[in-house]
């Protein structure tokens, strides 16, 4: 059976939703004839035509605002940020207009904002960012960070069908590096549900995005030493799966929180607060954070290598926790 | 006041026109209703502490929202700004609901979640304003874009102030609307001040309409205190939008006859300016013209005023009796199904 | 001795810095003849003239960008956001340009962005926000949230003298509600240092901004019951005083994290992570968060009352923790 | 190509002029150096994997940065964009430093923290570009504002692409510069594409210069592939800025003779367009003109090319030998004193 890459899975998901629902359309910079900087909308112009595949000027705030307007009229726009870093330019429309319409006046804004995030490709400070926390801290939004091709396709479909604004952060390092066989039939993955990628009795590693693979590699290595990691992939950050987080924490009693995003104010803080608030009695050791340091994402290979959390970070911390 | 078309592109149907007689009388009614309602809110309810937070009114600018929206179809959309009360009235939001909004009551369109003119209703095709000035400009473009995609001949009226045109979102939105030829009428309330900041400190051009040229869009200047002139310019821009010819920028020259908000005494505004514009009050202007043309009598005007006052009295009473939201409503309605 | 309000303290601080250093200037909407929406720059136009008190168009991103440009040339701009809520419109310039210049190319950007934040005045969703976390999560920035007139004056001076971009969030509820006698001589308060507002042996309440007063009122009430709260006012969120946080946590072994900002992704998460990571063995009970719920700030009095953390929330949680 | 001044406001000293003979030869040198350097980076070092990440070059557009910056004073500031290599060379950044930047070496101006043209140096009065297009427009206004405050007669050159003019920050920055009369020359590289998006999908006007009218600013269109025309327009705009008359918008019509970046084959660009512009290559144009006017000989051109090649060879060797940053440098330099 043919294997589907992460990037192709997203493309298929959007494509199928556009076939299913004529209210779905894509807009963004170079999404038309060029098919998007990473080819996520490749072929859509030919298939669906100019009115549903809209090339825009370089106006992130305008793109988001226009998507909001269309969504208020019942359309289901899927707006591309050429790089997730540029979502900063649409921050106000997303956090103040899109996020608050339903709460203020009951108006649904069913839209998706998607784009490539994350490092590991020597993109430097403006093509490697992980902007998820800016939106996780904004009530009214949903935030999704898929790690596999299956989840990418299932979650982009759920995001498009969702009646609230969803931020869909793709990890560009995974675009063409991972593949899997996808079921031919229509399927979705629910927003807000985590998945356990590996069961283990000793230590829980709660993570998401590209870091899922770092955790799994670390688990393989520690296995040899008889240390069993449980790896939980959150998949969604807002809403996030409180039950799954508490369940694994209570099960292993030792928790590592791992993300590629920077440390202070990162998602690990939210998880640490939840766990120390609601699973305190189950903990047998300190909750440990493994994150990028608090710096912009540097360009030069040795610097970026230093910046990104590594398998050796997870194994080191896991050994310490195990010995604790 | 001189009226010129700044952009070479001519507006569809340049021939100017006037509304039917009964429409002109309806216009007077809505002008007076708007004025009376905002007076009641600002000068009474706010001072009585029954309306909390900030209160902004459109005193002296009523002709703009009303002249532009009086002939809209129910399926046309308006994205009002903070001085466009008339648009809410014309789109059919009733007095009690509006007053409940100002009082933070559960019966208001935001159920107390937001205050003053920060209200909307999809049933009325009214988009709720957010404070961030200019944000509604690309939103209006997107609404118009959806009409094009669906082949609908609906239009969007998007009013804003002179100050809002300095926002990046204004530029991005107007540019996108022009590139996509969206059916939007961008309507500027140029009251010559942004809070305390006069026009010359906001822009290096004489007219907001001068900015239309940057978007290949017609830019027309009208006397914003002449409701019939606003009506005519809007009529032509709406026709142009419905015909698929794209957006138009209409600049309505007017003046803010109050402070920026209820707490501002506007001491920074030269008194002569207030006097100059007081003489051009849009309501008295229309009254004089209707009387002169025998379309209304002083008794009828008097009676109209009485009717308006009692309508407002009644709505205020109802709104005051309306319940506040339940405190726990605070955590409801953030997401679908909550 | 005359008492100085919180708002007047900020005005004095800026005023004195402008007298001390001709590179200091203010810019923003209505800061000139009007003296600012909350009168923080009142009288400065007359005293310092148009070239140092710059009324701008309504262009938050432009204001920040212009401040960055001036700062790169060695000026020390103090930019006002008329309401902190509108900082969303300058988000990109702040997080991508200002925050990253020094790291990327060693260029200092000594500037202050200040404005009124917080609720309690029926301002509704767009005049009551607490935007601090968007910036706390951005390396390269500093974030300050003073709670007293003394700190407001001392910290605005430190912010203006700082060689990095500082976000200075004033709490508008405190502007005219609190007063104190200030020393006549020049003084500063260091960025990054917390202060213990009240010593207590039983439970630590770590907070900042207007919530400091909620904590102190709760402490008074609990005192009668023999429960002694220790109240730590962080004052700065980035950098924040790790030592002070760990010290009080280790001392009382029971911690309440209190803020007016919303819960998920709020600063309490960062503190919970630090404490459960580095003071785990000292804890005698779960770390408890008291925050606003995850909603926009509602307008109507009963809703806003429900939204804001109250003295009764602190006393309730403190009693639970004490009994734990 | 027709050159017109869009705005009524005349530029200071409309009489056009040409640079001194030795300046024209220096211009040729910098044009050729820029071309050779970018070719080396894009076609060699990038393909050899010695330069990672994205690579953008200004092939065919070299005349714009060089014509506008050749006569700048050391204390004048430039805020280059991603196709303005010439500006770095003219402001005195040496080849080895630039190449070290591309290779992520510690000896580059960002010490490996950032890549390609995302570099700056206050010593050279070069402001480091950030990816977010248009962000440098208000920054340039602020730099100019500081010159006004301090009574300095310095100017800022701020280049950007046609696509960047769609950004809200472009509007806010240009508007503020006009209102404050900042000494800035806004210089548009109109290469008629933003990535794959042609001009007509970005704006509803024919010329970027048409946007100047919205800011009461002169807008001049020049042939961006005629370096002497660019020099002359920039000279007049700089004089105007130094004289305190405020900003100018110069639109340089040109064409991007490559893909958007090294990985883009530009298959969406009609081949005729490349051919049309290839014939207008700014370097060969200047060579022909200098030869015709006897200001240089073919041998001298040949020799100049040799010199440039060996300068680059040497710089590449040095940069390749330069050290990478220490991994732990990652956490240094976020704040003062770190
Ligand atoms: C982005 C943003 N910045 C600042 C404000 C604060 N503010 C509210 S109204 C106003 C002046 C608006 O002037 P204008 O657009 O001319 O409208 P007017 O009030 O004159 O009708 C300002 C600065 C805001 N609401 N939004
Ligand atoms: C705010 C923002 N959005 C998107 C991008 C991605 N991007 C990089 S270059 C480019 C095209 C730029 O076109 P133009 O401004 O005309 O400059 P050119 O590359 O043609 O010289 C785009 C869309 C960006 N860098 N910044
Ligand atoms: Mg105004
Ligand atoms: Mg271009």
- D184 vs D161: CA distance, rounded Å: 16
Using a pLDDT cut of 90, give the percent of chain D over it.
94
Residues paired with D251 in a beta bridge: D188, D221
Torsion over CA: C184, C186, C187, C188 (sign): positive
- The string of pLDDT tens digits covering residues D41-51 is 999 999 999 99
Residue D161 near ligand 2, beta carbon < 6 Å: yes
Residue whose CA is at the smallest distance from ligand 2 atom 12: D194
pLDDT range class, residue B5, cuts 50, 70, 90: very low
CB nearest to B327's CB, from C55, C124, C306: C306
Number of helices followed by number of strands (H, E) in chain B: 10, 7
Condensed to tens digits (0 to 9), the pLDDT of residues B57-105 reads: 999 999 999 999 999 999 999 999 999 999 999 999 999 999 999 999 9
Interface of C with A in 58-97 (CB under 8 A): 85, 88-89, 91-92, 95-96
pLDDT, average across residues B14-39: 94
Rg (CA), chain D: 19
List CB contacts (< 8 A) between A281 and chain C.
286
Distance C126 CA to ligand 3 centre (A): 19
Parallel/antiparallel/unpaired status of strands A142-144 and A166-171: parallel
CA distance A323 to A286: 12
Position D4 scores a pLDDT of 41
Contacts 24+ apart (CB under 8 A), B71-76: B71/B19, B71/B23, B71/B231, B71/B234, B71/B235, B71/B238, B72/B155, B72/B157, B72/B238, B73/B154, B74/B125, B75/B125, B75/B152, B75/B154, B76/B125, B76/B154, B76/B155, B76/B156, B76/B157
User: Tokens representing C113?
Assistant: 């962005």
The H or E element spanning position C286 is none
Cβ-Cβ contacts under 8 Å, A70 against chain B: 142-143, 145-146, 149
- Enumerate the H helices of chain A as residue ranges: 6-20, 44-48, 60-72, 91-92, 101-105, 132-136, 149-161, 211-223, 242-252, 267-278, 301-307, 311-323
| Cα gap D193→D212, rounded to integer Å | 20
- Inform me whether the pLDDT recorded for C169 exceeds 50: yes
Min Cα distance C97 → chain D (Å) is: 7
- Section C195-221 average pLDDT: 98
The confidence score (pLDDT) of residue D15 equals: 72
Average pLDDT of the residues in A133-145: 98
Report residue B14's pLDDT band, with 50, 70 and 90 as the boundaries. Answer: low
The confidence score (pLDDT) of residue D14 equals 61
Work out which ligand 1 atom sits closest to the CA atom of B81.
Answer: 21
**Residue in B178, B202, B214 closest to D213 by CB:** B214
- Give the whole-number percent of chain B exceeding pLDDT 70: 96
- Beta-carbon pairs below 8 A across chains B and C: 121
Query: Kindly report the CA angle at D135 between D132 and D141, in degrees rounded to 5?
Result: 165
Question: Quick one: average pLDDT of A21-26?
Answer: 98
pLDDT at B15: 72
- pLDDT tens per residue across span A39-61: 999 999 999 999 999 999 999 99
Active site residue C322: no
pLDDT in tens, D213-240: 999 999 999 999 999 999 999 999 999 9
Ligand 2 probe mutation, D61, D85, D138, D195, most atoms within 8 A of CB: D195
Cβ(B58) – ligand 1 distance below 6 Å = no
Residue D253 has pLDDT above 80, yes or no: yes
Predicted confidence at residue B53, as pLDDT, reads 87
Q: Does A291 touch chain B (CB under 8 A)?
A: no
pLDDT at residue D10, as a whole number: 40
Q: What is the pLDDT of residues C16-25, one digit of tens each?
A: 999 999 999 9
Distance from CA of B82 to the nearest CA of D (A): 22
- Per DSSP, what are the bridge partners of residue D159? D187
Nearest CA to ligand 2 atom 13: D194
Rg (CA), chain A: 19
Helix (H) or strand (E) holding D299: helix D298-321
d(CA D146, CA D22): 34
Nearest CA to B147 among B67, B80, B243, B71? Answer: B243
pLDDT at B6: 42
How far away is chain C from the Cα of D264, in angstroms, using its nearest Cα? 26
Chain B neighbors of A61, CB-CB under 8 A? 138, 168-169, 172
Tokens of A206: 């709660």
Q: How high is the ipTM of this complex?
A: 0.98
Question: How far is CA B275 from its chain centroid?
Answer: 23
* pLDDT digit string, tens, across residues D61-109: 999 999 999 999 999 999 999 999 999 999 999 999 999 999 999 999 9
| pLDDT at residue B213 in the model | 96
pLDDT digits (tens, 9 = 90+) for A180-210: 999 999 999 999 999 999 999 999 999 999 9
Identify whether the C-beta of residue A133 lies closer than 8 Å to the C-beta of residue A265: yes
Among B114, B143, B334, beta carbon nearest to A73:
B143
Residue B135 clears pLDDT 70, i.e. is over it:
yes
pLDDT value at position B208? 98
Please tell me whether residue C42 adopts helix, strand or coil conformation: coil
Give the pairing type, strands C195-198 and C229-233.
Answer: antiparallel
B169 to chain D, any CB pair closer than 8 A? The answer is: yes
Percent of chain A at pLDDT > 70 equals 100
Residue with tokens 């968060």: C289
Q: Say if CB B56 and CB B83 are below 8 A apart.
A: yes
Strand partners, A204: A230, A255
| D173 part of contact set with chain A, CB < 8 Å | no
Nearest-neighbour CA in chain B from C270: distance (Å): 24
Residues C52-87: pLDDT tens digits? 999 999 999 999 999 999 999 999 999 999 999 999
pLDDT (average), residues C131-140 = 98
Beta strand D219-223 with D197-198 is: unpaired
Exposure of A228 by Cβ count < 10 A (0-12 exposed, 13-18 middle, 19+ buried)? middle
Judged on CB neighbours under 10 Å (0-12, 13-18, 19+), A226 is exposed
Chain B touched by D54 (CB under 8 Å): no
SS3 D50: coil
Catalytic residue (one of C122, C127, C137, C259): C127
List pLDDT tens digits, range C264-320: 999 999 999 999 999 999 999 999 999 999 999 999 999 999 999 999 999 999 999
In the predicted model, is pLDDT for residue D9 greater than 80?
Answer: no
Question: Residue B163 pLDDT more than 70?
Answer: yes
| Closest Cβ–Cβ partner in C32, C85, C298 for B330 | C298
Q: How far is the CA of D143 from the centre of ligand 4 (A)?
A: 25
> Are the C-beta atoms of B178 and B216 separated by less than 8 Å?
yes
* Nearest-Cα residue of chain A relative to residue D261: A37
Please report the atom of ligand 1 found closest to the CA of residue B165: 15
Note whether C234 and C207 are within 8 A (CB): yes
Q: What is the pLDDT of residue A258?
A: 98
Which atom of ligand 1 lies at the shortest distance from residue C58's CA? 3
Angle at C114 between CA C109 and CA C117, to 5 degrees: 145
Q: Tokens in use for B49?
A: 């502490």
Using the beta-carbon criterion (under 8 Å), do A277 and C267 form an inter-chain contact? no
| C29 Cα to the center of ligand 1, angstroms | 9
Asked if the C-beta of C285 comes within 8 angstroms of chain B's C-beta atoms, the answer is no
Alpha carbon distance D217, B205 (integer Å): 9
Query: pLDDT at position A179, please?
Result: 97
pLDDT score of B24 more than 60: yes
Determine how many CB atoms are found less than 10 A away from the CB of residue D265.
9
């Amino acid at each position: 059976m043919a294997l589907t890459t992460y990037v192709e899975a997203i493309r298929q998901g959007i494509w199928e939703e556009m076939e299913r629902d004529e209210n779905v359309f894509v807009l963004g910079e170079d999404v038309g004839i060029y098919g998007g900087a990473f080819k996520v909308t490749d072929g859509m112009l030919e298939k669906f035509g100019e009115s549903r595949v809209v090339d825009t000027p370089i106006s992130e705030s305008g793109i988001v605002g226009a998507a909001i307007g269309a969504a208020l009229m019942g359309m289901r726009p899927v707006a591309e940020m050429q790089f997730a870093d540029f979502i900063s330019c649409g921050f106000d429309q997303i956090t103040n207009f899109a996020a608050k319409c339903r709460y203020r006046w009951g108006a649904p804004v069913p839209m998706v904002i998607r784009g490539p995030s994350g490092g590991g490709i020597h993109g430097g400070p403006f093509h490697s960012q992980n902007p998820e926390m800016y939106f996780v801290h904004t009530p009214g939004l949903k935030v999704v960070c898929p790690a596999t091709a299956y989840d990418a396709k299932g979650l982009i479909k759920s995001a498009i069908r969702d009646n609230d604004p969803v931020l869909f952060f793709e990890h560009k390092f995974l675009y063409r590096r991972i593949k899997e066989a996808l079921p031919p039939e229509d399927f979705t993955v629910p927003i807000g549900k985590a998945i356990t990628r590996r069961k283990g009795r000793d230590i829980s590693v709660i993570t998401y995005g590209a870091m899922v693979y770092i955790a799994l590699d670390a688990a393989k290595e520690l296995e040899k030493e008889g240390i069993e990691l449980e790896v939980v992939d959150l998949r969604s950050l807002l809403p996030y799966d409180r039950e799954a987080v508490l369940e694994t924490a209570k099960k292993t009693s030792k928790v590592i929180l791992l993300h590629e995003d920077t440390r202070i104010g990162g998602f690990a803080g939210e998880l640490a607060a939840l766990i120390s608030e609601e699973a305190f009695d189950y903990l047998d050791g300190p909750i440990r954070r493994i994150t990028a340091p608090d710096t912009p994402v540097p360009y030069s290979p040795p610097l970026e290598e230093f910046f990104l959390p590594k398998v050796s970070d997870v194994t080191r911390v896991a050994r310490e926790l195990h010995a604790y | 006041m001189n009226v010129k078309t700044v952009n070479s592109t001519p507006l569809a149907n340049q021939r100017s026109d006037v509304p039917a007689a009964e429409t002109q009388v309806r216009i007077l009614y809505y002008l007076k209703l708007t004025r009376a309602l905002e007076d009641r809110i600002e000068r009474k309810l706010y001072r009585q502490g029954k309306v909390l937070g900030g209160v902004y009114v459109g005193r002296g600018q009523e002709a703009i929202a009303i002249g532009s929206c009086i002939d809209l179809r129910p399926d046309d959309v308006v994205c009002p700004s903070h001085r466009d009360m008339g648009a809410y009235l014309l789109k059919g939001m009733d007095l009690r609901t509006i007053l409940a909004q100002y009082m933070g009551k559960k019966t208001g369109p935001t159920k107390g979640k937001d205050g003053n003119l920060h209200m909307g209703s999809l049933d009325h095709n009214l988009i709720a304003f957010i404070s961030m000035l200019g944000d509604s400009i690309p939103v209006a473009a997107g609404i118009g874009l959806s009409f094009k995609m669906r082949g609908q001949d609906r239009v969007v009226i998007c009013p804003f102030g002179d100050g809002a045109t300095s926002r990046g979102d204004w530029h991005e939105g107007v540019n996108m609307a022009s590139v996509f030829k969206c059916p939007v009428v961008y309507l500027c309330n140029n009251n010559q001040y942004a809070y305390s900041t006069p026009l010359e400190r906001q822009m290096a051009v004489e007219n907001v309409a001068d900015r239309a040229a940057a978007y290949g869009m017609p830019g027309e200047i009208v006397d914003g205190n002449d409701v019939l002139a606003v009506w005519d310019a809007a009529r032509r821009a709406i026709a142009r939008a419905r015909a698929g010819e794209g957006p138009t920028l209409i600049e309505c020259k007017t003046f803010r006859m109050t402070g920026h908000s209820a707490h501002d005494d506007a001491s920074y505004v030269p008194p002569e300016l207030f006097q100059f514009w007081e003489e051009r009050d849009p309501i008295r202007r229309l009254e004089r013209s209707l009387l002169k043309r025998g379309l209304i009598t002083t008794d009828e005007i008097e009676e109209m005023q009485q009717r308006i006052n009692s309508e407002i009295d009644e709505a205020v009473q109802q709104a005051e009796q309306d319940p506040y939201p339940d405190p726990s409503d605070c955590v409801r309605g953030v997401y679908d199904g909550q």
